[in-house]
Amino acid sequence: MEEENVKKSANSSDSANYFYEVDEEFRNTLATVDKEGKRIWLYPKKPSGAFHNKRIYVTILLLAILFAGPFLTIGGKPFLLLNFFDREFIIFGSAFWPQDFFLLALVLITFFVFIILFTVAFGRIWCGWACPQTLFMEMVFRKIEYLIEGDAKQQKKLNSKPWDAEKILKKGSKQLIFIIISLLISHTVMAYLIGIDETILIVSQPPSEHLSGFIGLMVFTGIFYFVFSYFREQACVAVCPYGRLQGVLLVKESIVVIYDWLRGEPRGKIKKGSEKAEQKGDCIDCNWCVHVCPTGIDIRNGTQLECVNCTACIDACDEVMEKVDKPKGLIKYSSPKAIDEGKNKLFTPRVAGYSAVLIILVTILSYLVLTRSDIEASIFRVPGQTYQKTEDGKISNLFNIQFVNKTFEDKEIRLELLEIPGGIIEQVGKDKISIPSNELYDGVFFIKIPSEKLHPGKNMIDIAIYDGEEIVEIIDTSFFGPMPGRQ
């Protein structure tokens, strides 16, 4: 049984045919936890190389978008505002209300299907190239650490030495910069939540005038500081639900960061003067790929939950291959199937199925968004009321009305009863309703209908909602008339 364990290692959850011999013992331990269950602090070597350079450009672009986002406006309105506190949502400059909740639900379902499809096809590319956690950790905070404390070896040395002036200066300045960046991130997040103007007010006025906003900012700052200065890779390996999903989402055709075991095995260190005779595989077992890994894993053991596809091991191994005069790409973006069979098929039936579902969802969502009414109206008869008779022989019902003006213009709304001669709508004290931009209106009105136009009991009626001369919606609702034999 034990021997069997030692023999097999899978390169994906669905890779029964893609084995090579690896000591499965690695599955019994975590790279960041020791035998006593204590955290092992990782000191990944400073990454460099072609992939890393590309990631720097992508990071600069994405962080520029992230930090510029709160300042971007469309037609004078925020590009993105997700104000959960006041239930105010602006996406691409358009206002969305809690009444649009079904759209949000559909967006989430569509997003979820997209994530599944993307992961099945391209593995964890998101984690390595676009996830804010990885970008800030590896491309911002870690870089500051390298700059101040040096590479992995110097960091270890610094941590083990007593607190002298150099250590205090280096550690102190690093933590201070970490706090400043955490403040910057928290203010940006706050600006997406309450708007840039409100955030500037909190910053520019005494905390006592915006106590809740100030406390919120401090809490966010504390969380970011904790995550990036201490929690680090644990966010990816122990908390992130997306990471946990990899086991069920990845298939043997998924593109991931992978070690080419056919080329690399059997691995072995180069012995001077006898490389050709003793070396069978290309892996020289130098462990550089492990030393640079920010989650501390050995990618040669196959795809693992901890791998955030940061590409550091690709760059490290490419550098080693160059030095030993072998082709690059021993660790690369590929799939277990491509390595094993020499070819891959990305558009599998599973990918086709998810794509079809995604296209349907996007089509429905686009239709709903594009045909979304500027004015959302709800009309209900006042609960518990039936009807009254008026002096001029009409039957009257009392209605509640609610309008949501989803635009950034003031609206003048008019109601009209359709296809009932002699029927009228009487709004208390006015014949038009003014709704300020992006506001909610609640009111009541009477509908009066000549009794001869009604059936006994429940009647269905249509009410047209006019925005200027244009009908924006027709609402059908029920109207109660007298029952036979009752007055």
What is the Cα–Cα distance from 422 to 456, expressed in whole angstroms? Answer: 18
Residues in 58-117 that interact with ligand SF4 by CB under 6 A: none
Tell the burial category of 402 from Cβ atoms under 10 Å away from its Cβ (0-12, 13-18, 19+).
middle
Asked whether the beta carbons of 394 and 448 are under 8 A apart, the reply is yes
Tell which one of 18, 141, 228, 288 touches ligand SF4 (CB under 6 A): 288
Query: Site for ligand SF4 (CB under 6 A): which residue of 103, 286, 362, 398?
Result: 286
Q: Which stretch binds ligand SF4 (CB under 6 A): 183-191, 257-265, 412-420, 466-474?
A: 257-265
Nearest approach in angstroms of CB 333 to ligand SF4 is: 10
Read off the DSSP letter of residue 36.
T
CB of 294 to ligand SF4, least distance (A): 6
For ligand SF4, the closer CB: 291 or 453: 291
- Options 85-93, 172-180, 292-300, 452-460: segment touching ligand SF4 (CB under 6 A): 292-300
Number of amino acids touching ligand SF4 (CB under 6 A): 30
> Does residue 295 belong to the site contacting ligand SF4 (CB under 6 A)?
yes
Stretch that binds ligand SF4, among 94-102, 288-296, 388-396, 400-408 (CB under 6 A): 288-296
Q: Which of 309, 335, 397, 405 binds ligand SF4 (CB under 6 A)?
A: 309
Number of Cβ atoms within 10 Å of the Cβ of 92: 11
The yes or no reply on residue 185 touching ligand SF4 (CB under 6 A) is no
- Closer Cβ to ligand SF4, 9 or 199, answer by number: 9
Kindly tell me which residue out of 94, 154, 287, 355 binds ligand SF4, with binding defined by CB under 6 A.
287
Q: Judged by CB under 6 A, does residue 307 bind ligand SF4?
A: yes
> Can you spell out the DSSP letters for 153-219?
HHHHHHHHS---HHHHHHHHHHHHHHHHHHHHHHHHHHHHHH-HHHHHHHHHS-GGGGHHHHHHHHH
Residue among 10, 284, 404, 435 that touches ligand SF4 (CB under 6 A): 284
Under the criterion CB under 6 A, does residue 300 sit at the interface with ligand SF4? yes
Angstrom distance (rounded) from CA 404 to CA 99: 9
Return the number of the residue (146 or 446) whose C-beta is nearest ligand SF4: 146
Note whether 299 binds ligand SF4 by CB under 6 A. yes
Among 81, 189, 190, 312, binds ligand SF4 (CB under 6 A): 312
Residue pointed to by tokens 């990885």: 134
297 binds ligand SF4 (CB under 6 A): yes
Helical H runs in 24-163? Answer: 50-68, 101-122, 125-129, 132-136, 142-149, 152-160
State how far the Cα of 71 lies from the Cα of 84, in Å rounded to an integer. Answer: 19
Q: Which stretch binds ligand SF4 (CB under 6 A): 56-64, 180-188, 285-293, 437-445?
A: 285-293
Residue whose C-alpha is closest to residue 51's, from 339, 319, 282, 305: 319
Q: Is 257 among the residues that bind ligand SF4 (CB under 6 A)?
A: yes
Tell me whether residue 297 or residue 415 sits nearer to ligand SF4 (CB atom).
297
318 within 8 A of 312, measured Cβ to Cβ:
no
From 65-73, 303-311, 372-380, 387-395, span contacting ligand SF4 (CB under 6 A)? 303-311
* Nearer residue to ligand SF4 within complex by CB, 202 or 236: 236
Q: Is 313 in the site for ligand SF4 (CB under 6 A)?
A: yes
- Measured CA to CA, the distance from residue 414 to residue 167 in angstroms comes to 73
3-class secondary-structure state, position 405: strand
In DSSP terms, 470 is beta-bridged to: 467
- Enumerate residues 327-386 that contact ligand SF4 by CB under 6 A: 330-331
**CA 158 – CA 150 distance, rounded (Å):** 9
Which lies closer to ligand SF4 via its Cβ, residue 21 or residue 285?
285
Find the shortest distance in angstroms from Cβ 55 to ligand SF4.
11
- In whole angstroms, how close is the CB of 292 to ligand SF4 at the nearest point? 6
Which parts of 312-355 are beta strand (E)? 331-334
Q: How many CB atoms neighbour CB 35 within 10 A?
A: 6
452 by Cβ neighbours in 10 Å (0-12 / 13-18 / 19+) ranks as exposed
Which listed range, 4-12, 31-39, 284-292, 418-426, lies at the site for ligand SF4 (CB under 6 A)?
284-292
Piece of the chain touching ligand SF4 by CB under 6 A; list 308-316, 364-372, 416-424, 469-477? 308-316
Residue numbers 123-182 binding ligand SF4 by CB under 6 A? none
C-beta of residue 435 within 8 angstroms of C-beta of residue 472: no
DSSP string across 200-238:
HHHHHS-GGGGHHHHHHHHHHHHHHHHIIIIITTHIIII
Q: Which is nearer to ligand SF4, 25 or 476 (CB)?
A: 25
Measured CA to CA, the distance from residue 198 to residue 212 in angstroms comes to 12
Question: In one letter, which amino acid is 118?
Answer: F
Residue ranges binding ligand SF4 (CB under 6 A):
257, 259, 264, 267, 283-289, 292-295, 297, 299-300, 307-313, 316-317, 320, 330-331
